Structures are given as structure tokens and as C-alpha cells.
Structure 1
Amino acid sequence: MTAVRVVERTDDGRIREAQYGSSAPSKDVSVPKSQHCGPLHQRAMDFGSKVFLPSGYPHSVSPDYLRYQVFNALQAFCSSLAGLLSSRALLEGFGVGNAEASATHALLLTVLQDFFGRITTICAAYALGPSLGAEAKTFRLLADVANDAAIVLDTLSPLILSRVQIPGARVGALCLSGALRAMCGICAGGSKAALSMHFATPVSGTGDIGDLNAKDSSKETVLALFGMLAGSLIVPHLTTPSSTYTVLFTLVGLHLWLNYHGVRGVVLRTLNRQRLSIAWHHFRDSMDTEVPSPAHVSRRERVLDWNFSALGAGFQAGRCTCDVGSSLVAVFPPGKGSDSIPPPALVNADQEDAYILWFDPSSISQNPTQPTFRAHNHALGFKMHIFLRRGYSTQHVIKAWVHAVEVGRMIALQRRTGSRESLSDPLDLVRVGHKRVGERLERFLELMREKGWETGETGLVVGTPRGVIEEVEVVADEQGLGVEGRKER
């Protein structure tokens, strides 16, 4: 009789071997044949991993998943305890325990707080929505800052009622806390979606984002339950303002510290403006021989960096900034003389790269023959714009941003060496930067992919570009100058 030998890997990574059609017994290579005969703590750990960790862990998630979840669990516990203190203070602010308070008054306060929260939700989604995915780490931390600020305001509301003799001060504090909670919801929701997609994309293999989110919800439910149970034992003993505020600010400080270190340890492999700038600076500083790994960039990345348009890492690019997807007609409005006209050499060039890089009118003083930098802006910094052409792709946007970073490097180098003469020709800077990038970009992207970076999709363009150049035609006017025939979609 023919025997069949089967070796399988279970969902928890264990290897089993079995034989069919033979008198030889089946055997388990890595563990006992029965998972139910192991030690009690081992069975408990196996059960806990199946309930709270994604199926196939650790092969179905990114390597930084467990570290982030540990910090996230600790910060959620602190937030739950602090939330109980704010809930008690909020009930006091609504009049619980006050014989003169009425249910109608408390209802109106709740409606007013909810009104400001909903208005903030709409405004925050409009203003911050396009940036949440690209800057997920920053907005994940910002969400907790807003939530903690709301908790502090709610807890201080009884103190405001008794100490601050300003009409409407308590109502204003409650409305502000509602707005901050709404801001937290928008920032946390958008950034959490981006982080979940990252965690569900392991270095090798595939993950299930639905299962990952479901297991995260289970963990949050259990942590909230433990937080409420612990809070029910602690809060009754906090009967004085000093003890309440001491515990509150201790929990808030610990909550923010845990959040910062948890977010900082996330190793994103997608490119945004800051990560691409750090990688390009490292590549150029290494004489075009190596690029940093995602873990190396994560250690250098600034989580609390609000200037998303900055071109450099630290001092290397000075104070240069660049906007991606700007509208050429909006930046250079027609009908304002020759100073508002971009150089025809750039506008009418054969752009295989599907973009135009040029300086903001505030940084340069143009004339019909030769644009120059404004002298008073040398110390203040420079601003550039990337105008996208029809048919642009992700690779074009990467090259455009790297091109801007290289121009910023040249400007910073000229400042450090004191060479001010070459700063007088911005057109030469753009041309030289384009040449340097063109010679190195293919090698740079190849090394980036070898290091594990994802270059197919980026967060360089936030939202929809404000303008896309459909057609450009340079036509001589009566003085032999002018740019007409510009169209944009």
C-alpha cells in the first residue's frame, strides 16, 4: 500500500508531520500532538493570542505591530482612568448634586456641547482630511493631545464655576472640550486607518485588515473594562481638588509620554515629504552609495513636525519649503506685468518629467531677461512650487520633490560656505538640480526598493492638486515677451 507523508504549518507557525496509509504513527515536529495537554499558562497564552492578536500572528502583521500595541494598551488604560475623573467633573458641571440645577439646563448644556462638536467635526474633516494618511504619526499623537486637553477642561469645569467670575466661562469651557473631542475623533480615525493598513502589510506574506481591526477593537474593549474597574476603586478616594488634579495631571502626562514613544516606534515604509527628504539627504551624504532603511528613517523622523512642506532634515536645507500641486495661474496671476511671468525657458521646456519647479514670487525678483533672488529673503528662506502637468505619475512627483530638496541643499551649502554670488541666478539652480537628480534618481529608487521602501504610492500630493497644467504655449507679444495659452484643469 502506498504511504503519503504530509508536513503542514498551522496558523500559529507550528510544523506538523503526518503519514497516511502506513502503520507508522503521526508525529508533531515542534510541539506535542495535542495542544490541550500542555501547561495551563501555555494554553492560556494560546487562547489569548487567538482572541486578541490577528490570525497568523506574527507572520500576518508588520514587525513593529506588537511594540505599538503594548504602548497603545498602556496609554488606553491611563486615558480610561483620566476619563472617569473628567466624567465625574462633567456631571458636577451639569448640576448633579446641586439642588438649584434642573434637568432642562443640563440638557441644553449637552446640546450646546454636541453642537460645537459636530461643527468642529465638519471643519476638521475639511481642513485636515487630506493630510491624515500622509502624516499619520503626527495626527495620531495630535488626537491624544486634543483628547487630553478636553479631559483637563472637563475636570476643571467645577473649579471654573466656583472660582472664575466670568459670565459664560463654564459654558465656554464645556463647548471647547466638545470641540477638542471632535478634533480627536477626526485625527484618530483617519490616522488609525493609515496605521492599520501599515500593520496589515507585513514585509513578507499577506495580512487581513478586517481581522486586525476586529482584534484591536477586542483589546480596546477589555482595556476600557479594566480601566473602569480600576477607576471605580480609585476615584471614590479622590475627594479633594488637590488629590484629583495631582492624579489627573500624572495620568495625562503618562498618557502623552506613552503615546509619543508608541507612535515614534512605528516604522512606516511608505514615503511622505519628510521621509523622502531624509532618505535623499542620507543618499547624497553617502556619496550616492546607500540609502537608509525604514527603521533608520523612523529614528530620525520628527513626529511633531507641523511644517509638512519643509525640504530638509535639520539644517541641511535651511528654511526652504515647497508646495506640491500648486496652481500656476494662482501663484502667477496674469495681468500684473512681467514680474508675474515664469521663465519661458521652464514653462515651454519639453517636460518629460510632467512637472515644473520654480520659486514663489515672494522669493525672487523677475525681469524679462534674468530672474534674481530678493536680497532680503536670503536670511528668511525660500519658497518653491511644484506645478504638475497633465499625465503626471507617482514617479514624476517623487522626482519633483527630490529635485526641490536638491535645490534646497545647494542653497544651504552656499549659505554655509558664504558663496553669495551664485545665489543670484535661480534658473541655474533649478537646471543644475534637475541634472543632478536625473543622473541619480534611478539608482536611488532601486536602492530604496531593496531596503523595503514602497515607492509605488506616496503621500507627497496631499489631496487633489490645486491645478494641473493641461497646455502651455509661449507666444511673443508686442514687446516680444509674454506667456499666453495657459490652461488648467
Structure 2
Amino acid sequence: MAHNNETEKFVVTERDDIGRFRRAHVMGGRVTVISESGEYPNRLYVLDVAKKVFLPSGYPSSVSPDYLRYQILNALQAFCSSLSGLLSSRAVLEGFGVGDPTASATHALLLTIVQDVFSRMTTIFGAYAFGSSLVPEAKTYRFVADILNDTAIILDTLSPLPTSPSLPFHVPGLRVGALCLSASLRALCGIAAGGSKAAISLHFATPIDGSGDVGDLNAKDSSKETVLVLMGMLLGSLIVPRLTSAWSTYTALFSLVGLHLAINYIGVRGLILRSLNRQRAAIAWNIYRTSGNSKVPTPTEISRMEKILGHPALFRDPINGSITGQCTIGSSFSDKFHAGFPSRLFELFAEERYLLWYDRGCLQSSSDGQNIRGPPILHIFFKDGYTVNDQLRAWLHAAELCRLTSVDRLDIKDAHKDTGGDEALRLIHTTLKHTLEHFSDFIKGMRSNGWNTTDIALMTGPPKTVLTRIDSALGNEQTWDGQEDKKIR
């Protein structure tokens, strides 16, 4: 006997993007939605609406785990910046002559134009100088942007001082110079903040599981910033009129600036980026090698160890933080070397798409060959057709060389005997073998721990030059394996 579906009752349960469930009864062609007012009081309903307005769709599964913590700290720092910005705006208006009957509007306009010229010119040169460094070093430049902005705020707030009658001396043009410098610093802040924020937003929009929408995330961030700026302006309108003396103004200013930078540092420090840059790759490799090739660190462990204002070209000991060497990636061969370069290096790297050698300043010649003097200074040169994996392998090779040099130079005695007493060449050969032997296992371990080994950001822009061809001029040059070869790729 067939069932009559029109008299049968069904219950449909659905879930929205914030995780709230609703039920509907279907019977006889009619749909009845069950009211959930008893399960979700008005207070929770308001919270749900706030989540939809200010948090990305699908939160928390659509963002990385460190999103909420960073956004809370970012909100606090934006609030502090808004308050300190009101103090600087008042000082700038005073410098323009607001309240002074002898002040000229034309003079204020001309000063604004001069500031704008400095700002736009700085934007052009700043984008050229730092544009390619913003994504690889996103955490560094995000914090540097706030330092630049706070410095500009301080200069604006102090700009009326050069024309103050209380000063015993006056320096012509000092106030104009301070305002122009603050405009340039704000332009640099915009470049650093814009580029680094794009990289951080992309990180937030790539959760460990699932996918996010970077456009929606940026739109919701803009909404949050708008509300915070408005709140800062409203509170500032109550506080700023009470700061009438220089002592109270400067005390409030430097307190807000100090709090702003401290919150920013904590927020940036807590970012757990899963992409590899030079510093993170070197730290991870050093931990892996010093553990006997058994431990691959997680992104959380690396985030606690990386330095926010550390120079990316430096290698450091993961235990005591001492500098073990430095390396420039993507150098020009003809610019760096004019003498003291061993031709056997071409044969050693015949199967690689890069070369690694020392800066002449860290080498000391002897009767047997060249010895390393102090922490090694290295250069990486790429061959035409290099890939992202070649970049990473070259950088890890340099990290292995600096690590081995700092641990024990006697560990390089397994190199070929035909290098004689040339310590520099022996170390290059030994560390190349170590890197090739452990590179694949290291990458597999990194991927299993949640690292993104595809989108690698090691270089700040393209290399200065690439090696397109390496020929033997004599035609009888011996390779490392003792075979004759006229051309080495």
C-alpha cells in the first residue's frame, strides 16, 4: 500500500552561517517555522547580528585561529591611535593659526600644499624602495608602520613649539620642516601598512580547514575600524578640551603612543603565519638539524621565536640568539667578485640552479687555500630557470653552512681530499651534501605540521641578475667527478 506523502509530517532542520539552527514542520503542503525566541533571547540575537556585521561570513571556520585575538588587540590600538591623532590635529590647527587674528588662510593653504608634495613624492620613492619587501616581512612592516605613524603624530603635536614665545630662540623653517617630515612619515606608514595588511588579511582568509573570503574579511575589518574611529572621536571630544596645559597634553600623548606601540607589538607578535620567509625558514631548519633531523617545528613554535625587528638576512642560533652568519639572496655575480673565486665551484653546483659562495670580506687566503674569518657572509646567485624550490634549497644551504660553522668546523672533514686545505670550499661541499640529503624529509615534515611550502616569499623582488650560461674557456677543464665537460649549467 502506497503512503500518502501529503498527510505525512516532516521536520526540516537548517543551520545558518553563524551556527544557529532552525526547524520547520512540513505537512499537507504547509510549512510551519518553529519559533526560537525562547531558545535565543534578545541578548543573544543582538550578538548574532553583531557577528554578521563585524565578523567574516562563516566565522570561525572561515578564518585562521589567530584572527580574533589579533582583531581585539587591533581594535585597542586603533582606539589609542584615534585619541592621539586628535591631539596632533589640534596642534596642527594651532600651528596654522586657528585663533590668531593675524594668521593668513593663504599661508595655511600653501603649507598644506607643501606637505602634500612631500607626501606624494615619498609615496613614489617608498613604493619603489620597500614595495617588494612588504609581503615577505609582513609582521615587521606592520609594526614599523605604527612606529612611523606615531612618530608623525608626535611631530605634529610638537610643531607649534618652534613658534612659541616661551622659547628663548627661534629656528626659521623648523615648524614647516617638522610638518613636512610628518607628512612623509605618514606616506611611508601608508605604504608599509597597506602592503603588510594585504599579506596578513590573506593569511586570515586561509584557515587550516576550509576556505575564507578575503574580500568579505577586508570589508568587515573596515566596518570595525569605522566604529572604533567614531568611538575614539566621541571620547576624544570629551577629553581633549580638558587638556589645556602643555604638560597634560604631552603626558597624554606619550602615554597613548606608548600604549599604542605596546599593543601593536603584542598583536603582531601573536600572528602565526604559516608561509615561509627567510627568518622562519632558517629557524625551522636549524631546529630540525640540531634535533638530529627528528623535530620539525610548528608555526606556533616559530612565531614565538622570530624577531619582529630582526634583519631577515641574518642567521641566528635558535638557542641563544647569537648571530651565526648572514646571506644576500639573488646577488649579481659580476658585482660581488673580482678575485679569489674558485672555478671548481661551477663544477660543484653543476646540477643545481644556484651558486653559493662567500663575500671576500670574510675569507682569508693561506698557502693551502681560503679560510673563513669570523661568521660567514654569503651570497646566493641564481641560474636561469630557477624555481621556488631552488630558492628555498639555496637559503637552507646557507643556513646549514652558518649552523655548521658555529657548531664545529671539524665536522667538515668528510669532504673530498682534492680540496686540500681549502676550508671554505670544503664547507660548501659538505653542507651541499647535507642539504640535498635532508631537504625532502624536511619539506614533508613541514607540510604535515601545517606549513604552506608552496607560497614561499624569500626574495624581495627578482634577483639582480641570473646566470644564463657558464662555459669553460679552455675546453679541458676537469669537473668535480674527474670528467671533462665544456659546459656546465
TM-score, normalized by the shorter chain, greater than 0.5: yes
Alpha-carbon separation, structure 2, partners of 1:445 and 1:285: 16
Aligned residues: 465
In structure 2, what is the equivalent of residue 336 of structure 1? none
What is the deviation of 1:363?
1.9
What is the deviation of 1:425?
1.0
Alpha-carbon separation, structure 1, partners of 2:457 and 2:287: 20
In structure 1, what is the equivalent of residue 328 of structure 2? 323
In structure 1, what is the equivalent of residue 202 of structure 2? 197
Alpha-carbon separation, structure 1, partners of 2:364 and 2:477: 20
What is the deviation of 1:370?
5.9
Q: Is 1:11 matched up with 2:17? A: yes
The answer (yes or no) to whether the contact 2:64–2:203 under 8 Å persists in 1 is: yes
What is the deviation of 1:414?
3.1
Are the structure 2 counterparts of residues 6 and 427 from structure 1 closer, same or farther at C-alpha, using a change threshold of 3 Å? Answer: farther
Measured against aligned partners, the alpha-carbon deviations of 1:72-118 in whole angstroms (never above 9, x if no partner) come to 00000000000000000000111111222101111111111111111
What is the deviation of 1:300?
0.8
SS in 2 for 1:320: strand
Q: How does 1:50-449 map to 2 (within 5 A)?
A: 50-162=52-164, 163=167, 165-305=170-310, 307-313=311-317, 315=320, 318-333=323-338, 339-340=339-340, 342-349=341-348, 351-365=350-364, 371-373=369-371, 377-378=373-374, 381-414=375-408, 425-449=423-447
CA RMSD of aligned residues (A): 2.9
Structure 1 regions of 5+ residues with no counterpart?
A: 334-338
Measured against aligned partners, the alpha-carbon deviations of 1:235-254 in whole angstroms (never above 9, x if no partner) come to 01001001111111110000
SS in 2 for 1:373: strand
Residue identity matched to 1:226: M
Percent of pairs with identical residues:
49
What is the deviation of 1:413?
1.3
The answer (yes or no) to whether the contact 2:349–2:355 under 8 Å persists in 1 is: no
Q: Which moved more, 1:281-290 or 1:67-76?
A: 281-290
Residue identity matched to 1:406: E
Are the structure 2 counterparts of residues 423 and 452 from structure 1 closer, same or farther at C-alpha, using a change threshold of 3 Å? Answer: farther
Residue identity matched to 2:405: I
What is the deviation of 1:441?
1.0
Measured against aligned partners, the alpha-carbon deviations of 1:157-189 in whole angstroms (never above 9, x if no partner) come to 112221251111111111111111111101000
Are the structure 2 counterparts of residues 199 and 158 from structure 1 closer, same or farther at C-alpha, using a change threshold of 3 Å? Answer: same
What is the deviation of 1:120?
1.2
Residue identity matched to 2:243: L
Residue identity matched to 2:313: S
The answer (yes or no) to whether the contact 2:329–2:379 under 8 Å persists in 1 is: yes
SS in 2 for 1:476: coil
TM-score normalized by the length of structure 2: 0.88
The answer (yes or no) to whether the contact 1:356–1:387 under 8 Å persists in 2 is: yes
Alpha-carbon separation, structure 2, partners of 1:53 and 1:460: 32
What is the deviation of 1:457?
1.5
SS in 2 for 1:362: helix
The answer (yes or no) to whether the contact 1:277–1:313 under 8 Å persists in 2 is: no
In structure 1, what is the equivalent of residue 461 of structure 2? 463
Structure 2 regions of 5+ residues with no counterpart?
A: 414-419, 479-485
Residue identity matched to 2:402: G
The answer (yes or no) to whether the contact 1:318–1:408 under 8 Å persists in 2 is: no
What is the deviation of 1:399?
0.9
Q: How does 1:33-48 map to 2 (within 5 A)?
A: 33-34=35-36, 38-48=40-50
Residue identity matched to 2:265: Y
The answer (yes or no) to whether the contact 1:348–1:474 under 8 Å persists in 2 is: no
Alpha-carbon separation, structure 1, partners of 2:450 and 2:443: 11
Alpha-carbon separation, structure 2, partners of 1:183 and 1:402: 32
The answer (yes or no) to whether the contact 2:22–2:36 under 8 Å persists in 1 is: no
Q: Which moved more, 1:343-352 or 1:37-46?
A: 343-352
The answer (yes or no) to whether the contact 1:78–1:255 under 8 Å persists in 2 is: yes
In structure 1, what is the equivalent of residue 481 of structure 2? none
Residue identity matched to 1:308: P
SS in 2 for 1:456: coil
The answer (yes or no) to whether the contact 1:36–1:43 under 8 Å persists in 2 is: no
Alpha-carbon separation, structure 1, partners of 2:140 and 2:410: 31
What is the deviation of 1:10?
2.2
Alpha-carbon separation, structure 2, partners of 1:132 and 1:423: 43
Are the structure 2 counterparts of residues 344 and 96 from structure 1 closer, same or farther at C-alpha, using a change threshold of 3 Å? Answer: same
Alpha-carbon separation, structure 2, partners of 1:302 and 1:26: 58
Are the structure 2 counterparts of residues 36 and 396 from structure 1 closer, same or farther at C-alpha, using a change threshold of 3 Å? Answer: farther
